[in-house]
Amino acid sequence: MIRGIRGAIQVSANESDAIVLAATELMQALIEPNQIKKEKVSAVFFTVTPDLNAAFPAAVRNKLGWDLVPFLCGQEIAVPNTLERVLRVLILFDTDRGQEQIRHQYLGETASLRPDFNDN
């Protein structure tokens, strides 16, 4: 079955290296506990808040060696008074795991975006 895994991280600065580093940290935090194999990934969708535009987070593809996986980047809606410099991801992959076994990762300050996942 295809399942979705969500995650988010706050990027330290609107700089290319910082965005790619944050994307790498987030992807590694999702891949390992969910035992994601690139051959089972259908697609990876990144979004960033409007204040992040120095790089495409999908550049992490090269670091992961996921050359054949489709990646897409987009911009989040600019909602006033929300957390800044946030990079989010949705990974769709084929797994036998049940929904309750999926380990979403909201790292650092982004844990406040999904307090219901804090005990994962």
Of 3, 25, 85, 88, which is the active-site residue?
Answer: 88
Query: Reading across the β-sheet that carries 71-75, which strands appear in turn?
Result: 71-75, 41-48, 86-94, 2-10, 105-106
Q: Which of 6, 97, 103, 109 is catalytic?
A: 6
Asked if 103 is an active-site residue, the reply is no
Active-site annotation holds for 73 = yes
105 C-beta neighbours (distance < 10 Å), count? 25
Which position among 3, 25, 85, 106 bears the catalytic label?
Answer: 106
Taking the C-alpha atoms of residue 55 and residue 14, their distance in angstroms, rounded to an integer, is: 8
C-alpha pair distances (Å), 13 with each of 17, 37, 49, 103, 114: 9, 30, 12, 27, 22
Q: Of the listed 3, 76, 84, 109, which one is catalytic?
A: 76
State yes or no: is 84 an active-site residue.
no
CA angle 104, 91, 21 (to 5 degrees): 80
d(CA 33, CA 14): 28
Per annotation, catalytic residue among 97, 103, 109, 114: 114
Indicate which residue of 3, 25, 73, 85 is catalytic.
Answer: 73
Q: Is 85 a catalytic residue?
A: no
Active-site residue set: 6, 61, 73, 76, 88, 106, 114
